[in-house]
Amino acid sequence: MTLNDLEPIYEMEKRIFNDSWTKEAIENELKRKRYSLNLVSEMNGIIIGYFFAHFLENEAHILNIAIDISFQHQGYGNQFLDQILENYLQYADVYLEVKRSNFPAINLYLNFGFEEIDIRNEYYSDGEDAVIMVKKEKQHGLVSPKR
């Protein structure tokens, strides 16, 4: 993703979300180089989705992932997330927040092995709660089970 992608991503963000990011917030993410993973999904040279995350060592936090409205419910979001997790975040614990009412997204994340771990009350600007989810990749035990 580059600064040249700012306008199409911002327009897509406004179409998809009622509480969309500002153009300045997107631009700041595009300019942020350290600890950032910013990707686009393209079809025939057209941006159909985007992804923003921050990471440090073996931990990543998904800030935003979206597929444009006309491409939703066709498997593109599933493919995009699968490629991101497989190619960029396979060795990370991945965290995210999702609106409590966004059942399609919650189900998508559950299908990828994310677990619901907490609730952030009134997290979003419209007052809706966020479900905090994590997909753990690390083995946390120091002792192997006996066989």
- Annotated active-site residue in 76, 109, 123, 124: 109
- Annotated active-site residue in 97, 115, 116, 137: 97
Is residue 100 within 8 A of residue 128, CB to CB? The reply is: yes
Is 109 an active-site residue?
yes
Is 88 an active-site residue?
no
The full 3-state SS of 17-47, as one line of letters, equals CCCCCCHHHHHHHHHCCCCEEEEEEEECCEE
Q: Minimal CA–CA distance to 41: which of 81, 7, 87?
A: 81
Catalytic machinery residues = 97, 109
